[in-house]
């Protein structure tokens, strides 16, 4: 049944309500649910965080990951899923998240997020797919389709130009129209063309002087009239600063419950003619329509969950999103005769597999690299090397690591960013690894240059040491099965088949956005314009350390005989792909268009 049908069903219900009841519909009943209309058979619907796994709180309420949540499969974060370039895989993950949501009586999953990675130090970059709006939009649409295939709604977020965490509640993003449309709106437009999400969430920030949730241009004119979105626009949690203007703009639902803070102002504005009654009725109609849609879906959706299959899916997705950045041939290791293998790095024992904040999942189980090695029958020597929570090291830890490295034929050094380094709520101040990890790397490579680095991070880091190690395998934040997936890749049971969906710069100060990132408490100027990520590197001839689209593999492929077919303004490109190696593998066919 289309949303038009639900709107038609909702309209007479809304028209029968008194003004006070209508106003009550415009805010949540509590932290996660909407206001019901029991006399009209309209139930509330339940929302939950869930960009890479469900974070459903049963009886607790917060939006930043402080309190616990019910167990759910923790899949790789969006930065890893972006590197898969695989819409079919992302849709399968969306379906798994949707099924788990259905099993926990959640009606709308608050995800996916598809903000552009304007600057690599953005605190929530691990929650977003790419620096490119096409990749972001296509993969976000796939996630929406997957979630909604299970009778659960999805919510695109955070609309729009919400690209840093610093001062996010009061920040005014200043951006020119071309850049706004070509970079920051384009992904949302693509996602809305390729899917039909139930909701869109407005962001915290202002845009050119007006809060996005209060902007008639952004919501009514562009999101609804141009992009054709019919569903409910919901605020980010605690993001409303002027409810009357937000209603004029077309923001339907304020979350969470504001304790009726705005009721008097809305009633006054309506009574004084500042807010047309039809404006309130339209938002109420959309909210009621969504409640009816959720109720119908709830009655028919399947709720049985195979958590084992979901864990296996998370494991294969972790391999699909991992990127082999460098490799001198040391990988894959030979499980039949691996020699003396040393594993150094506390992440091997206490893995970092997800980001922090509102997306933090309570996993159904967690695999570790050491446990996976043991299950495979691989004997290794191990040294922690650093504190897994802080990244700090000591002389004793360094000495132990150097000794273990020197005694080995090959070293797997597991380093990256600890949880305290990147999270919702703040941005990174640099792109460096913790000093303890850098010091450990230097000590280990001095002791044994046959060192392969497993790099766990949600976003780019600077790697001045990249040419001093034998291989770098970027795992991103690989979800609850990341330990098993890492061992699969190290020994060639699976291929690290990811390709970067973001650029890794040589140094952060090379980027034009760096001069205007998180440098002012109330304002950020997008003076770099379109020159974000590969658009900057390609246009100005400033090479990235690892460019957008980069990724090696264990096999080799020949791609040739490109053919272009055209139908009016649409074009299709086909190529012949040949696996020229002696092992199974995969590659990503990438096509770039430019003016000639």
- Give the separation between CA 403 and CA 159, rounded to whole angstroms: 51
Alpha helices by DSSP H, 228-355: 243-249, 263-271, 277-300, 307-321
Contact 434, 388 (CB under 8 A): no
Cβ neighbour number for residue 400 with a 10 Å cutoff: 16
Pairing between strand 108-110 and 153-159?
parallel
- Give the separation between CA 564 and CA 575, rounded to whole angstroms: 9
Structure-token pair, residue 594: 């430019």
Closest CA to 463 of 325, 305, 269, 298: 325
Active site residues: 236
**CA dihedral sign of residues 559, 560, 562, 563:** negative
Burial class (CB in 10 A: 0-12, 13-18, 19+), 596: exposed
Contact 244, 264 (CB under 8 A): no
- Give the separation between CA 69 and CA 540, rounded to whole angstroms: 47
Annotate 134-148 with b (16+ C-beta within 10 A) or e (fewer): ebbbbbbbbbbbbbb
Contact 497, 474 (CB under 8 A): no
Pairing between strand 341-344 and 362-363?
unpaired
39: three-class secondary structure by DSSP: helix
Residue with tokens 């997800």, as numbered in its chain: 354
Angle at 366 between CA 311 and CA 450, to 5 degrees: 105
- Give the separation between CA 448 and CA 454, rounded to whole angstroms: 16
Q: Tell me the three-class secondary structure of 388-409, residue by residue.
A: CCCCCCCHHHHHHHHHHHHCCC
494 backbone dihedrals φ, ψ, rounded to 5°: -140, 155
Residue with tokens 């339907």, as numbered in its chain: 252
From residue 188, alpha-carbon distances to 27, 181, 201, 405, 442 in Å are 25, 10, 11, 48, 43
Burial class (CB in 10 A: 0-12, 13-18, 19+), 322: buried
Contact 232, 286 (CB under 8 A): yes
Residue with tokens 């932290």, as numbered in its chain: 31
- Give the separation between CA 395 and CA 464, rounded to whole angstroms: 23
**CA dihedral sign of residues 168, 171, 177, 178:** negative
- Give the separation between CA 590 and CA 585, rounded to whole angstroms: 16
């Amino acid at each position: 049944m289309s949303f038009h049908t639900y709107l038609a069903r909702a309209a007479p219900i809304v028209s029968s309500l008194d003004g006070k009841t209508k106003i009550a519909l415009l805010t949540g009943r509590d932290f996660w649910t909407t206001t019901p209309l029991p006399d009209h058979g309209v139930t509330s619907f339940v929302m939950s965080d869930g960009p890479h796994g469900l974070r459903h709180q049963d009886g607790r309420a917060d939006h930043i990951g402080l309190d616990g949540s019910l167990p759910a499969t923790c899949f790789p974060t969006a930065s890893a899923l972006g590197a898969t370039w695989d819409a079919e895989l992302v849709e399968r993950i969306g379906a798994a998240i949707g099924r788990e949501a259905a099993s926990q009586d959640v009606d709308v999953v608050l995800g996916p997020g598809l903000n552009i990675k304007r600057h690599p130090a953005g605190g929530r970059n691990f929650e977003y797919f790419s620096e490119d709006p096409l990749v972001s939009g296509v993969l976000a649409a796939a996630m929406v389709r997957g979630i909604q295939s299970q009778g659960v709604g999805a919510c695109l977020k955070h609309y729009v130009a919400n690209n840093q965490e610093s001062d996010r509640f009061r920040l005014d993003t200043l951006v020119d129209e071309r850049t706004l449309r070509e970079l920051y709106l384009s992904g949302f437009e693509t996602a809305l063309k390729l899917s039909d999400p139930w909701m869109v969430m407005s962001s915290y920030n202002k845009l050119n002087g007006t809060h996005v949730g209060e902007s008639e241009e952004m919501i009514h004119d562009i999101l609804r009239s141009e992009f054709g979105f019919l569903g409910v626009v919901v605020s980010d949690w605690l993001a409303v600063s002027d409810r009357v203007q937000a209603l004029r703009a077309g923001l339907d639902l304020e979350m969470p419950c504001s304790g009726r803070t705005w009721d008097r102002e809305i009633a006054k504005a309506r009574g004084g003619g500042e807010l047309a009654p039809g404006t309130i009725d339209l938002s109420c109609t959309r909210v009621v329509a969504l409640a009816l849609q959720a109720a119908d879906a709830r009655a028919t959706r399947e709720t049985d969950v195979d958590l084992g299959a979901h864990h296996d899916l998370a494991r294969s997705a972790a391999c699909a999103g991992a990127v082999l950045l460098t490799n001198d041939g040391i990988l894959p290791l030979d499980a039949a005769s691996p020699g003396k293998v040393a594993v150094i790095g506390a992440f091997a024992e206490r893995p970092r597999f997800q980001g922090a904040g509102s997306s933090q999942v309570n996993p159904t189980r967690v695999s570790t690299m050491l446990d996976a090695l043991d299950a495979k029958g691989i004997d290794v020597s191990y040294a922690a090397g650093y504190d897994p929570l802080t990244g700090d090291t000591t002389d004793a830890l360094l000495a132990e690591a150097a000794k273990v490295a020197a005694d080995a034929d090959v070293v797997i050094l597991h380093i990256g960013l600890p949880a305290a380094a990147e999270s919702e709520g703040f941005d990174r101040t640099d792109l460096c690894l913790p000093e303890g990890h850098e010091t450990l790397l230097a000590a280990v490579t001095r002791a044994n240059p046959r060192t392969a680095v497993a790099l766990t991070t949600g976003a780019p880091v600077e790697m001045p040491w990249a040419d001093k190690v034998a291989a770098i395998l970027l795992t991103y934040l690989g979800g609850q099965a990341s330990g098993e997936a890492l061992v699969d890749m190290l020994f060639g049971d699976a291929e690290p088949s990811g390709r970067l969906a973001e650029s890794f710069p040589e140094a952060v100060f090379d980027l034009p956005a760096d001069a205007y990132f998180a440098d002012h408490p109330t304002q950020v100027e997008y003076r770099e314009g379109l020159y974000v990520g590969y658009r900057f590197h390609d246009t100005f001839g400033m090479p990235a350390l690892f460019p957008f689209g980069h990724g090696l593999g264990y096999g080799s492929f020949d791609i040739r005989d490109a053919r272009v077919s055209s139908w009016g303004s649409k074009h299709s490109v086909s190529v012949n792909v040949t696996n020229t190696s002696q092992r199974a593998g995969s590659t990503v066919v990438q096509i770039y268009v430019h003016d000639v």
